[in-house]
Every structure is written in C-alpha cells, then in structure tokens.
Amino acid sequence: MVTVQTATQQLRVPSLVPYLHRSLDLGMTMDYAAMDPRDEMLCHWVGFGIGKGVTNPITGETRYAIPNELRRGIHAELLAGRIDVDPYPKCYDEEQHDKGFGAWVRWTYFADPDGGPGTLGIDFSIACRPTAGVATTMLTVATVVRAAAAAGIPEDAEVALLNPRMCEEPFHYVLRIELELLTVNDWITHAAARFGPKGTYCLRCGLATRTRGVRFCNRCGCKFAVILAMHMRRAMVAAALEVGGV
C-alpha cells in the first residue's frame, strides 16, 4: 500500500511517480543556509527537492509526504495516531522512546532539479535501537529499497545511507562503491548475493568479515546467525500478510 500525504489530506495512490518532484514545485529544497557548516562538503543534494517517506520492511507499506514547509517531525506526522509508534517528539528520542517508530524506517527522496532520477536517502546506523526509525542492518536497507522501488522510486536513483543530519558519511559512500550498491537497481539485483546466506559481507555493517566458520563480525560485533534469523522471520511474516491480503 502506498499513501501520499499533502498539506490537507492523505491519499492512497498506485505509485509515487507523479508526486516525486512536487517538492521542487513548492520550493522545498536543500539549502546551504540551513546547514551546519561541517556538512557542506558531505551534502551532494544542495538545490534538490526534499520529500520525506517511511517504509515498513515487514508489511512493505510506504507513506510519503510532500511538505509545504521544512520542519522537524514530518516523518512522525506520516505515522500519527498509529498504536505501534510513539507520538511526536518521543518517537525521535533514541534513549527514552518506548515504541519509537516501531518497524518503520525513515527515508528522504532528493528530487533532481535537472530531471535526473534523484537519490533515495535511507536513515542508517548500526548503533541505534531497531525501533529508532532507521535501518540498522544492510538487509533492512535492501528490504526498504525494494519496497520503495515498488512504490515508484526510480530504479536508477542513487541510494545513500544518511546520518542524522541528512548527509552521507564518506565511509559509507566508499563502502557502497566497494559493494557495487550505488543505485536502487543495484540493491535489488546484488544485495542478496552480498548479504544472503552464502554472502561474504556482514549483514549488519556491510564489511567483508564473513568467512567459513566465523560466527561474529570482528568489526561491528554482530552474530551473523541472529541477524539472518531476524530477517527470515520478517520475510515469513511479510509472506503471510501478502497471502492474507493485508
């Protein structure tokens, strides 16, 4: 299910495609003037339109907002009233939240003013709680990318792993190059081979730490079998929901 939220209403739509560049029409763009000076070199989307989205990697549901002003809390507004999510601003409190964002993952679509495919920026951190509204494993990123593509994000759009300041750390950019996971289509096509049961990359941090007989990542400390089992359970729930027509 795909939902678009405007300033006045929520609409169920078959695709996000007609709405992805509305942010440019409304003048909702990344601006140097609103940025921390330390981020100016890390942000590749100055002048790009900003649309905010959330995706549930279990159900595949996606919600997208076309804000008429740039303000904190737009992701939370998309989920307002849901019993599986804390109200704003508690849902953003990493240490004190109860439900947080539940299973939902936040993302931003940066619309290219030159008409290109844009960038899908997914909030990512291996240090956060699973309910913090960010992807905490590479497998979660892959699941969200697939769902976003099904909702209408272009398959040739770049995928970026965003920090809390809507920028991508150079380390993550270099890692995506090494993994050959630059675009939405790359993630759809190659993520299973990189992070699946026979892959050699850590399912959580993405580094090449999985070898025969090794159970833990020597960089992020995760137990591979635990991460894989969690995502297999999510996949089973998603399949059951699809069969049930939920």
The SS3 call for residue 45 is: coil
Please indicate, yes or no, if residue 179 is contained in any of the structural domains: yes
State how far the Cα of 149 lies from the Cα of 65, in Å rounded to an integer: 16
pLDDT tens, position by position, 91-126: 999 999 999 999 999 999 999 999 999 999 999 999
pLDDT of the residue at 232: 74
DSSP string computed for 110-161: EE-TTSS--EEEEEB-SSS-TTSSSB-SHHHHHHHHHHHHHHT--TTSEEEE
pLDDT of the residue at 243: 53
Please indicate, yes or no, if residue 235 is contained in any of the structural domains: no
The SS3 call for residue 20 is: coil
In this predicted structure, the answer to whether residue 244 has a pLDDT above a threshold of 70 is no
pLDDT tens, position by position, 133-151: 999 999 999 999 999 999 9
Residues present in the chain in total: 246
In this predicted structure, the answer to whether residue 172 has a pLDDT above a threshold of 70 is yes
Q: How far is CA 191 from CA 98, 117, 206, 210, 225, in A?
A: 31, 20, 10, 15, 17
How many degrees, rounded to 5, is the angle at CA 150 between CA 65 and CA 192? Answer: 120
pLDDT of the residue at 18: 96
pLDDT of the residue at 228: 77
DSSP string computed for 189-229: HHHHHHHSTT--S-TTT--S---TT--B-TTT--BHHHHHH
pLDDT of the residue at 151: 97
pLDDT of the residue at 223: 87
pLDDT of the residue at 88: 96
Please indicate, yes or no, if residue 226 is contained in any of the structural domains: no
Which tokens hold the place of 157?
A: 């759009």
pLDDT tens, position by position, 60-89: 999 999 877 778 899 999 999 999 999 999
- Total domains, the chain: 1
In this predicted structure, the answer to whether residue 242 has a pLDDT above a threshold of 70 is no
The residue assigned the tokens 């950019």 is 173
Please indicate, yes or no, if residue 213 is contained in any of the structural domains: no
- One-letter identity of residue 226: V
By the 8 A CB rule, do 117 and 154 touch? yes
First to last CA, the chain: 9
Please indicate, yes or no, if residue 241 is contained in any of the structural domains: no
- One-letter identity of residue 49: G
State how far the Cα of 167 lies from the Cα of 91, in Å rounded to an integer: 21
Better-predicted residue by pLDDT, 175 or 215:
175
pLDDT tens, position by position, 213-237: 788 899 898 888 888 777 777 666 6
Please indicate, yes or no, if residue 239 is contained in any of the structural domains: no
Q: How confident is the model at residue 240 (pLDDT cuts 50, 70, 90)?
A: low
State how far the Cα of 97 lies from the Cα of 223, in Å rounded to an integer: 25
Please indicate, yes or no, if residue 228 is contained in any of the structural domains: no
User: Could you tell me the pTM of the whole model?
Assistant: 0.92
Please indicate, yes or no, if residue 127 is contained in any of the structural domains: yes
pLDDT tens, position by position, 197-212: 888 999 999 999 998 7
Range of 62's domain?
2-198
pLDDT tens, position by position, 34-70: 677 777 777 888 899 999 999 999 999 999 998 777 7
